[in-house]
Amino acid sequence: MADDAGEAEEMTSICSGLVINIGTLNKKTIQSMFLAGKKSNMLGHPVVLDPVGAGASKLRTDTANKLLDEVKFTVIRGNISEIKTLAIGSGTTKGVDADVADMVTDETLDNVIAFAKEFSRKTGAVIAITGAIDLVAGENMAYIIRNGHPIMSKITGSGCMLTVMTAAYVASNPGSVIKAAAASVCAMGLCGELAFLKCKTAGGGNSSYRNYLIDEVYNLNAADLTRGAKYEVR
């Protein structure tokens, strides 16, 4: 959250991990992203990229590509259109939402897994592609995760929240990046399901839902996560 170039390196030094999120990109903060990213690399801290809206403007696509060139990322987390834009230059991002043409379904799943493993090989990062079906892929294996609820797309920021959780999980489990990333995706999805149940009982809308979602993340424990996680490995 400290985005001035005059303190980005110093601030990231007292953190255990870094998220670079290009959601509110502007020319003043781009320099700070590079400074913080390179400093974190030097310190051996995990760095997670959230390429918000890559594909929606030249500035976003170019900035995300340049970040990939100059910073080594531990995890890259985005929707399928954003990740396709970075990997093969062909995503058709609609602002911050994935394009329906790119959607991951059971029919396209095997292709997407192969594509994600290949992008992981190329970047050295774990690739997390989230949507109706979530995917967390390394070079040789991928977690397919079926937690979550459609109402999660009706609030702003659930993707950004997940990216920050992923960084926290990975920073706390430095030896198990892919497992930690997959656990964070399961956790956010499971909390999304629990929040939906609470919202339905209480009769609220998307603003109440957002509160319940954060509440569930706050209250989640390891036993509930283990019991509620829905994943397979391919």
Interface contacts to its own copies, rule CB under 8 A: 1-4, 6-7, 10-11, 14-15, 24-28, 53, 56-60, 94-95, 154, 204-208, 210-219
| C-alpha–C-alpha distance, residues 170 and 203, integer Å | 35
CB of 28 to its own copies, least distance (A): 7
Residue 45 sits at φ, ψ, to 5 deg, of: -80, 145
Judged by beta carbon, residue 62 or residue 110, the one nearer its own copies is 62
Judged by beta carbon, residue 45 or residue 117, the one nearer its own copies is 45
| C-alpha–C-alpha distance, residues 62 and 45, integer Å | 24
CB of 20 to its own copies, least distance (A): 16
Judged by beta carbon, residue 136 or residue 216, the one nearer its own copies is 216
- Chain centroid to CA 231: how far? 17
Helix runs in the chain, H state only: 8-13, 27-43, 58-70, 80-88, 109-123, 158-172, 177-202, 206-219, 222-228
Radius of gyration over every alpha carbon of the chain, rounded to an integer in angstroms: 17
Judged by beta carbon, residue 95 or residue 124, the one nearer its own copies is 95
CB of 71 to its own copies, least distance (A): 20
CB of 206 to its own copies, least distance (A): 4
